[in-house]
Amino acid sequence: MTARALFQRLLANDALNFALTNRVPRAALTRLFGGFSKIDHPWVRHVSIALWKAFGDVDLSEAKKTHFSSLHDAFIRELRDGARPLDPRPEVLVSPCDAIVGALGRIDGDTLLQAKGMRYTLGELLGDETLAAQLRDGHYVTLRITASMYHRFHAPADCRVEQVRYFPGDTWNVNPPALDRVERLYCRNERAVLTARMYNGTPLVLVPVAAILVASLRLHCVDLTLHAGYAGPHRLSCDSSVRRGEEMGWFEHGSTIIVLLPAQAALAPQVRTGERIRMGQALFAPPPADRV
């Protein structure tokens, strides 16, 4: 049995997976990994990227460049032009990232499903009851970005980002074993809430949620890198127009984005829990303008 196969077998045991990736000093390990991943040294770069490839399903062939200065540089890689074509229907909202689809569907009043009966509320996630009220009975999709995937995320539709709220927090893993065990995980982890409005007035909310080994979250709309040591204001006003498919920022490791839309929206029929989706593929059909 190869080392990769043995590693994957160990992680397939949910209890062991949870212990190995959560019953550790999460914050300290995240800071340590963040610093290590940025070491620009040939030996460190070569060994760390080789190990990453050996134990993960990593494909760097789509990257815009072929040489990386560090493991961090490979994590936040840009893709070649055309590697992620957008759905040709301009009215369709597209996936903001490459991901595995998690819990999804209709929001039950203000309650969303985390996993296997574990639930949380819009108010807890967003920290804003007024915004939560706008999304009541709406729709949501949970998009989990694994460590081997493309880590940048993009605008699902033409929109204007009006505000960013940053919530410092924990760094629980966001994989299924943790979601099955940690109540209100997304509300406890470090996260940002990006409040946007499409040009027909429909609200669109993206919630990037950090996880263990995620050293920071880069957001272009406020020109900031948010992380546990960030000491600035946690409510940031902005006025940033982005086009459908335009890059909005990146994670520095695998994590999750929760996409929220009001009740009039509809999930694309092919979006199902457990399926892989790529940035640019259909995610939502938009609400008609006369029902906003």
pTM of the predicted structure, to 2 decimals:
0.90
Confidence (pLDDT) at 211: 85
Residue 251 parent element (H or E):
strand 247-251
Exactly one of 98, 139, 216, 253 is catalytic; which is it?
A: 98
* 267 & 226 share domain: yes
* 16 & 139 share domain: no
Confidence (pLDDT) at 6: 53
Percentages helix, strand, coil for the chain (3-state, rounded to 5) are 25, 30, 45
- Does the residue 247 lie in any domain? yes
Tell me, yes or no, if 223 is annotated catalytic: no
* 116 & 254 share domain: yes
Exactly one of 37, 48, 216, 255 is catalytic; which is it?
A: 255
Report how far residue 196's alpha carbon sits from residue 285's, in angstroms, rounded to the nearest whole number: 17
* 99 & 70 share domain: no
pLDDT tens for the chain, 292 residues long, are: 555 655 556 555 666 666 666 666 677 777 777 787 888 988 988 998 888 887 778 889 999 998 999 988 999 999 999 999 999 999 999 999 999 999 999 999 999 999 888 999 999 999 999 999 999 999 999 999 998 899 999 999 999 999 999 999 888 888 888 899 999 999 999 999 999 999 889 999 999 998 877 658 899 999 988 887 787 889 999 999 999 999 999 998 778 999 999 988 889 999 999 999 999 999 998 655 544 3
Confidence (pLDDT) at 57: 80
Per residue in 225-277, pLDDT tens? Answer: 888 778 788 999 999 999 999 999 999 877 899 999 998 888 999 999 999 99
Residues 6+ apart with CB under 8 A from 149: 97, 98, 99, 254
- Does the residue 88 lie in any domain? no
Confidence (pLDDT) at 290: 45
Start-end of H helices in the chain: 3-12, 14-22, 26-37, 42-55, 71-75, 122-126, 129-134, 176-179, 185-188
Q: Residue 218's domain spans which residues? A: 93-287
3-state secondary structure 114-139: EECCEEEEHHHHHCCHHHHHHCCCCE
**Structural domains in the chain (count):** 2
- Does the residue 199 lie in any domain? yes
Confidence (pLDDT) at 61: 92
Both tokens assigned to 75: 């994590």
* 222 & 148 share domain: yes
Confidence (pLDDT) at 21: 67
Both tokens assigned to 70: 């560090």
* 68 & 97 share domain: no
Residue reference for tokens 């600035």: 232
Confidence (pLDDT) at 12: 58
Tell me, yes or no, if 154 is annotated catalytic: yes
* 67 & 97 share domain: no
Confirm if 150 and 63 have CB atoms less than 8 A apart.
no
Cβ count within 10 A of residue 144: 22
Exactly one of 72, 151, 154, 253 is catalytic; which is it?
A: 154
Confidence (pLDDT) at 70: 92
* 153 & 68 share domain: no
Confidence (pLDDT) at 149: 93
- Does the residue 82 lie in any domain? no
Tell me, yes or no, if 98 is annotated catalytic: yes
Chain centroid offset of residue 262 CA: 20
Report how far residue 114's alpha carbon sits from residue 128's, in angstroms, rounded to the nearest whole number: 19
Confidence (pLDDT) at 28: 72
* 115 & 68 share domain: no
